[in-house]
Amino acid sequence: MNDNDIAVVEPCKVILLATDGSEFSAGVERVGMELAAQNRSHLHVLRLLLAEPGTDAAIVEEQDATMSLEGIATLCQERGIDHTPMTRPCDDPAQGILAAAREIQGQLIIIGRRGRRGLAKHNVGDATTKILNKQECSVLVVPRLFSFWSSGVLLVIDPEDTEGDRAALAAIQLAKGANIPLTILLVAEKNDEADRDANQTVNRLVAMAQLQGVEAEGCIQPGDIDDVTLEVARQRSADLIVCEPQDRSMLDRLFNINKLVQLIGKAHCPVLVIQGTPKTGAV
């Protein structure tokens, strides 16, 4: 990819914000509206209806959903955000969210780290974990108390991916939009050949960011990718982490271990997991 190609990449124009109306979705709603406002995106606000139809619980849930969506609609109107409220009955929240994203051809799903329903694994809810495991499109996972990133973006490059451009395009775009610095991190093996490749990759992406007027610097460190990511995010005061899905070993799949889920559960800030073709919308 030519460095100048980033200039023709458009921001994500179709965003699905999944809310359950609880306190766990407060951060999701704030970030979703701010991101839609900055990118002039169309924001689809989804509220799933999980109660059995025809029951008293379903009636209460529908009323609560209506009030919640009306409140978000009012805020969107005040900010001039194009938006569409959505309610969908479903049994499985993850399947309901993914189906809605496919229906609207969403480029980004914004979800909470956990919700009011389901078990939490590594502080990440069951529905969020399932959506991350499916890897159907880019997913932004937001802690409930978070407002918006304002200090820095940390881009984590997969050491097995010598290009890393899908996540880089998104990270550069977000850092530029918020006028905050970008740190590009590559966790590399400790040998000369790997160090040379790592330096070339990081330097290329730093140059790409700087061409777009983004303050950027590279960082190469050995160690466990999750531990290093969290430490560098703390050191650089980054309040958004951008990465691509991590390849899972056969052993991890056997024991249902997803280190990306563990990272998200430990992170103090949102984590954006990039999936899909960048030409159709980087973020």
Could you report the per-residue pLDDT of 152-184, keeping only the tens digit for each?
Answer: 999 998 766 644 588 999 999 999 999 999 999
- Are 21 and 62 part of one and the same domain? yes
Q: Report whether 244 contacts 164 (CB < 8 A).
A: yes
Tell me which residue has tokens 């009011």: 116
pLDDT value of residue 194: 59
Looking at residues 196-224, what average pLDDT do you find? 92
pLDDT value of residue 54: 87
Residue 255 burial by Cβ neighbours in a 10 Å radius (0-12, 13-18, 19+): exposed
- Are 19 and 125 part of one and the same domain? yes
pLDDT value of residue 143: 92
Tens digits of per-residue pLDDT, 87-130? 999 999 999 999 999 999 999 999 999 755 544 445 688 899 99
Domains held by the chain: number: 2
**Domain of 211, in residue numbers:** 153-244
- Are 52 and 114 part of one and the same domain? yes
- Are 87 and 7 part of one and the same domain? yes
119 phi, psi to nearest 5 deg: -80, 150
* Domain annotation covers residue 257: no
| 255 band by pLDDT with thresholds 50, 70 and 90 | very low
- Are 14 and 137 part of one and the same domain? yes
Residue predicted with more confidence, 70 or 10: 70
- Are 166 and 135 part of one and the same domain? no
pLDDT at 9 over 50: no
pLDDT value of residue 198: 82
* Domain annotation covers residue 214: yes
* Domain annotation covers residue 54: yes
* Domain annotation covers residue 278: no
pLDDT value of residue 274: 93
Average pLDDT over the chain, rounded to an integer: 85
pLDDT value of residue 191: 56
pLDDT value of residue 245: 83
| 10 band by pLDDT with thresholds 50, 70 and 90 | low
Look up the CATH number of the domain holding residue 73: 3.40.50.620
* Domain annotation covers residue 38: yes
CA 61, chain centre distance (Å) = 27
- Are 68 and 178 part of one and the same domain? no
* Domain annotation covers residue 106: yes
pLDDT at 282 over 80: no
* Domain annotation covers residue 147: no
Extended strands (E) in 149-262: 153-157, 182-187, 216-221, 240-243
- Are 80 and 169 part of one and the same domain? no
* Domain annotation covers residue 50: yes
pLDDT value of residue 218: 96
Domain closes at, from 111, 142, 173 = 142
Overall size of the chain counted in residues: 283
Looking at residues 127-141, what average pLDDT do you find? 90
HEC string of 180-201 equals CCEEEEEECCCCHHHHHHHHHH
- Are 189 and 239 part of one and the same domain? yes
- Are 127 and 160 part of one and the same domain? no
- Are 136 and 179 part of one and the same domain? no
- Are 59 and 128 part of one and the same domain? yes
What's the CA gap between 58 and 122, in Å, rounded? 30
